[in-house]
Amino acid sequence: MKPTGTDPRILSIAAEVAKSPEQNVPVTLLKLKEIINNTPLGSSELKKIKQDIYCYDLIQYCLLVLSQDCSQIQGGWNTISQLTQILSHCCVGLEPGEDAEKFYNELLPSAAENFLVLGIQLQTCFINAAKAEEKDELLHFFHIVTDSLFWLVGGHVGLIQNVLHSDHFLHLLQADNVQIGSAVLMMLQNILQINRSKRTKILLEINRKKEEEDLRLQLQLQRQRAMRLSRELRLSMLEIVHPGQVEKHNREMEEKSAVIIQKHWRGYRERKNFRQQRQSLTEYKAAVTLQRAALKFLAKCRKKKKLFAPWRGLQELTDARRVELKQQVDDYVRRHLGSPMPDVVSRELHAQAQERLQHYFMGRALEERAQQHREALMAQISTNAEQLMKAPSLKEAEGKEPELFLSRSRPVAAKAKQAHLTTLKHIQAPWWKKLGEESGDETDVLKDELSVELETLFISGTKAP
């Protein structure tokens, strides 16, 4: 059955192979190499291309060309070596589908055998060649064929037995030429490494299954032992209990067993539900955090906009309410007629009122900024005080902990430095000067007496002089 969605390049090559004469088929099949090389290795696209090549029998055409006489093929050993690469790359990673049995039992062994036959032919041509350039070229083609065989065997480990038991492979091992023999031995070493790694994997899998089986048997044995001990304990308890209390004892044991089973089952159910709901809980907490931050930001924006927005009147009033209020103002003015005011004085009063309003709003904004600055300073002072209270002494401080004693306030730093100098002076004073002093007494120390650069360092546990 032909696959749907076949690559048009594969269709074109298949049609050209079907219509071309027999001598042009090898050259036409070489176009597959460009398609395979331009497709990313290990991608699904390359796997689909390999399936299309197999379904349109292009792999079988490559195999038929390699089984023909090499001297009759256009391009000679160059064409043959490239066809071996195409065949090996198409067979590795291919999923044959319904024809799997034919692919693994017939096509792959035939391809490996053809590669070995080509190796023998190249070996004969290499030995009979007279020119050094011709020998180098044939040796290069021999390496390509052996590499293609190794690639095929590496992708299908089941072919190792076929290759090692092949008479053609034995013939290659018996080569008298050093270069050919070293290439064959290198290929044999690589094949044996593949076989060894395969056996290692099989042994590891067997050991893993054996360990799992042993663990299962141990658990089963422990369970049986626990059940036997429980039954023995129950029988011993029944021997002690009065015959009239046996039924009551059995009922109590059943209730205890039911409670234990329910406890473990509920714990397992709750743990399972918690694991299932953990992701949703995390998402809910993240959504709450984002919403809280967004609401705070929007409230701050509204507050800032309200502070600096110009006066626009009472926007919530409707037109009917405006008319009603205007009527009330007119009635009040009509009932309480005042002294006539000149137009100039009225404008001046209006300007003064606007200026005072503007001054009020600006002053309120400045007061709020000052209040925010004060709150920030208080929070900073509280944080610094808390860090100093929790900070260890200088003897116990490690790493960056001494940075907790630094202060950006010059008065505080000066006081701290003076207290530190006083403490150092008192510590360095001779013992006879300390006689009669009570604990907590301090002595003034001049700054010039100690040339110690302490920058802005706090000393925990000292008092200001």
Write out the chain's pLDDT in tens, 465 residues: 555 677 888 888 888 888 888 888 888 888 888 888 888 888 888 888 888 888 888 888 888 888 888 778 888 888 888 989 898 888 888 888 788 888 888 888 998 899 899 988 888 888 888 888 888 898 899 889 989 888 888 888 888 888 888 888 888 888 778 888 888 888 888 888 887 777 787 788 888 889 999 999 999 999 999 889 888 887 787 777 777 777 887 788 889 889 999 999 999 998 888 888 888 888 888 999 999 999 999 999 888 887 776 655 556 678 888 889 899 998 988 887 766 777 888 888 888 988 888 888 888 888 888 898 888 888 888 887 777 777 777 667 676 666 656 666 666 677 778 888 888 888 888 877 777 665 544 444 444 443 333 444 444 444 443
Of 164, 180, 161, the C-alpha closest to 172 is 180
Backbone angles phi, psi at 56, to 5 degrees: -95, 20
Dihedral sign computed on CA atoms, order 58, 60, 61, 65: positive
What confidence score (pLDDT) does residue 186 get? 87
Q: Measured between alpha carbons, how far is 214 from 187 in angstroms, rounded to an integer?
A: 40
- The per-type count for the chain, helices as H runs and strands as E runs, is 16, 0
Instruction: Note the pLDDT of residue 401.
Output: 63
**Among residues 164, 166, 184, 165, which one has the least CA distance to residue 174?**
184
Give Cβ neighbours of residue 57 (< 8 Å, ≥ 6 apart): 14
Of residues 46, 67, 52, 57, the one with CA closest to residue 17:
57
> How far apart are the C-alpha atoms of 105 and 166, rounded to whole Å?
15
Backbone angles phi, psi at 457, to 5 degrees: -105, 130
Tokens of 170: 């034995």
Contacts of 202 (CB under 8 A, 6+ apart): none
Spatial contact of 459 and 420, defined as CB atoms under 8 Å apart: yes
Pair 30, 18: CB distance under 8 Å = no
Question: Alpha-carbon distance 73 to 65, whole Å?
Answer: 8
Name the residue among 23, 97, 87 with its Cα closest to residue 53. Answer: 87
Residue 406 has φ and ψ, to the nearest 5°, of -80, 145
Report how far residue 152's alpha carbon sits from residue 62's, in angstroms, rounded to the nearest whole number: 14
157/369 Cα distance (integer angstroms): 79
Identify the H or E element spanning 226.
helix 178-240
Task: Tell me how far apart the alpha carbons of residues 404 and 417 are, in angstroms, rounded to a whole number.
Answer: 15
Interatomic CA distance for residues 117 and 172, integer angstroms: 9
- Please tell me the predicted confidence (pLDDT) of residue 399: 67
For residue 465, the model assigns a pLDDT of 39
